[in-house]
Amino acid sequence: MSEYQYYEFVAVDRPLTSVQQRELRALSTRARITSSSFVNDYQWGDLKGDPREWMQRYFDAFLYLANWGTHRVALRLPVAVLDPGTAAEYCVGKSACSWATRTHVILDLHSEDEDGDEEYDGGGHLAAILPARAELAVGDRRLLYLAWLLCVQNRELADDEPEPPVPPGLGDLSGPQRALVDFLRLDPDLLDVAAEASTPLKKQTPSAATLLRWVKTLPEPEKNDLVVRLMRGDDSHLRSELLARFHGPASNESTGAGRTAGELLAAADERWSRRQQLAQQREAAERERRERAAAAAREQRLNALAGRQEQEWQRVAVMIETKRRKEYDAAIVLLCDLKALADRDGDAEAFRQRVLQLRERHARKPSLLDRLDRARLG
């Protein structure tokens, strides 16, 4: 398999300036560069730049995959909507880390699979995941918990490492969050175990009257500043920031069950074992059902065949004389039914003698004899 790498960067909050686009073009002559994105794939060579630095300077989202099994996604949010300390509480290992600049906090999530990817078309992955960034911006902490769970899955934490606050709604992830789970190959059993301590997600849709009462409590200078920021259009997360302030941090997370990383892993292993056992039981039951159905169908065929043995032996002879492969195969099937009927009716020796005669008569047809041997006829 040839080497393949895919890079995709997206600017969400602000478009790239013409100067920034020229800076990126100087690093890649064949990349697809627009005012909002940089996309390139490599079957030889590599990106002439540091994705970490690019995230700090240019972009709000980044996705990378390679056909040897590496998946990586990074998201950048303003510190006004995501506290760096909150991000650091969940991003605690090599698989999920975070860092902050003066204005932003950046999450960097990794997944490795030694088996690699048979299909490695990068298109569409980031578009499916990107809305999870907006969900995080309004206070939905499920993405952060998924990052922590990724570190648990990859055994990067001590068994006694306590679980951080568990956000509501883990059992009912959004589409973008589910896309992230799939891209990072998060263990479904581990996720299901974690979701057991998650409360249902409450829809937070305050009425206009409620919002008005809250806005009236804001100091006049602060409201003036907010209006100026809105009119300047230099803060695309202003709505997210205000909603997060309105709802408050307590509405976005629960305290969880006080579990540890080791307890979650053990519970996930137990769940996997139970699921495998149930799957084996279902498979055995289905196999038994198929065998009963096949036996009943065979018995029905034999009953229909009884009393017509001579006619069917004549059919076998006609099929063999055609010297066609398909006719040989059909003759073998019919002979197997005749053998089963003879065994059932106590005529096994008579059947054996007729097959020996048939083999002697067609001794110069190796293809037929091979089929008879494989069917254990003779």
**Alpha helices, DSSP H only, in 138-260?**
142-153, 175-183, 188-195, 208-216, 220-232, 238-247
Q: Tell me what pLDDT residue 225 has.
A: 77
Span 80-99, average pLDDT:
95
- pLDDT digit string (tens) for 263-296? 999 999 999 999 899 999 999 999 999 999 988 9
Span 315-320, average pLDDT:
91
Range scoring the smallest mean pLDDT among 45-49, 63-67, 160-164, 232-236: 232-236
Mean of all residue pLDDT scores within the chain: 89
Indicate if the pLDDT at residue 47 is higher than 60: yes
Longest dimension (CA), the chain: 108
Q: Hey, is 332 helix, strand or coil?
A: helix
Is the Cβ–Cβ distance between 371 and 328 less than 8 Å? yes
Q: How far is CA 278 from CA 188, 192, 268, 292, in A?
A: 16, 17, 15, 21
Query: Could you tell me the pLDDT band of residue 250, with boundaries at 50, 70 and 90?
Result: very low
The C-alpha atoms of residue 147 and residue 153 are separated, in whole angstroms, by: 10
Query: Could you tell me the pLDDT band of residue 61, with boundaries at 50, 70 and 90?
Result: very high
Span 194-206, average pLDDT:
84
- pLDDT digit string (tens) for 123-141? 689 999 999 999 999 889 9
Calculate the CA 9 to chain-centre distance: 22
- pTM value? 0.73
Span 247-257, average pLDDT:
56
Q: What residue spans define the domains of the chain?
A: 5-274, 306-374
Edge-first strand order for the sheet with 70-78 is: 32-33, 37-42, 5-10, 61-66, 70-78, 104-112, 96-100
Q: Hey, is 4 helix, strand or coil?
A: coil
